[in-house]
Amino acid sequence: MDFSGSVSLLGRPSTDTEVQALMSRLAILRQPEVALDENDGSVLSAQDWLLNKKLGVELGFEARAHLLGQEIEDPKNEPMLLIQIYFYCEHHDVGPYRGSLPAGLVASDSRIATRDRLVEHENTRRSYVRDTWELPQFQLIVGYANGGTNIGFVSCQLRPPPMPADYDDIALIPSTPNIISALGKKLSDPQLRLMFSPLRLEQNLEGDEGGLVARFGTHLGLFLHFRYLDRGRDLVLTHVLFFREYEADGARWPGALPNGLHFDDSPEVVFRKISAEPVKHHDEDFTGDAIWIFPEYTLQVLYSTMSNCILRVQVVAPGVLPIA
């Protein structure tokens, strides 16, 4: 059966008649829903995945409010949007998809052949373990099997709407070099307090394990962590975290990133820009991270191994371990 045309349904609610027809063709009986904790009713997951192992197609749904970075006020009645479709060509414990693939791809395409087919979108490609392209209609991710000699899966994913930082808030942020220069300074330091006073640092500090944290994630994609060092009595700025949009349930950090990085850099580009060998480098199925130690700070980069982009950059005062 051919399901390649189903990518046109991305963004539609699960109740849409055509989405329901797609689920029927896939013999999927369960409706997608927000997963709730049985004890307190809190949201455990705003996403739901429905798979037909025999046909090799999986549908991913997400609560509309969560996709837009909003609170889910009524989980049981929250619309679930179709956000991702997987076509499994060669995948453990899943039958191979036999229909046509999106973008004219063929299951037997090698990594080189796949890139050749998508050459008109070459300027959007981000690569690492997998390849990612930004097509007009959706984000296309291709995973490979057998050392890149054929396609393992094709994923078509709805792009969430952009979430830039608030224009008025952007005018208040210190420069990234100035923020980094404040690492190791006491919270009581007059220069530090003056630098962050436009962000109303004092009003945004709250208790956190080991000290205090100021979370500016919603509007600026920025966290500032203050800790006690070497059994000292004074809180010190030890960790600064810069987030991509949605990673801290809010906007993307609008300023520069250290070491010339950009959030849209692929892991390949990150390792080119930072030529020094990381002291730690670890990849998992969906994310990876690397750590470098420089004289002025320790740098940690957390990235997606699916979308091949930076999710978070953390700078840490010398001698302090990054936050996991």
Could you tell me the residue ranges of all domains in the chain?
4-157, 167-316
User: Where do the DSSP E strands lie in 121-245?
Assistant: 126-127, 131-134, 139-145, 150-157, 205-208, 211-216, 222-228, 235-243
Question: What 3 state SS string does 189-208 have?
Answer: CHHHHHHHHHHCHHHHEEEE
Per-residue pLDDT, 116: 98
Per-residue pLDDT, 33: 96
- Chain centroid offset of residue 131 CA: 16
Per-residue pLDDT, 171: 87
By the 8 A CB rule, do 322 and 314 touch? yes
CA distances from 3 to 8, 97, 102, 155, 161 (A): 10, 9, 9, 12, 25
Per-residue pLDDT, 199: 93
- In the DSSP assignment, the letter for residue 94 is B
Kindly give the confidence (pLDDT) of every residue in the chain, 324 residues in length, as a single tens digit, with 9 standing for 90 and above. Answer: 899 999 999 999 999 999 999 999 999 999 999 999 888 888 999 999 999 999 999 999 999 999 988 889 999 999 999 999 999 999 999 999 999 999 999 999 999 999 999 999 999 999 999 999 999 999 999 999 999 999 999 999 999 888 888 878 888 899 999 999 999 999 999 999 999 999 999 999 999 888 999 999 988 999 999 999 877 789 999 999 999 999 998 899 999 999 999 999 999 999 999 999 999 999 999 999 999 999 999 999 999 999 999 999 999 999 999 998
Burial group, residue 151, by CB count within 10 angstroms (0-12, 13-18, 19+): buried
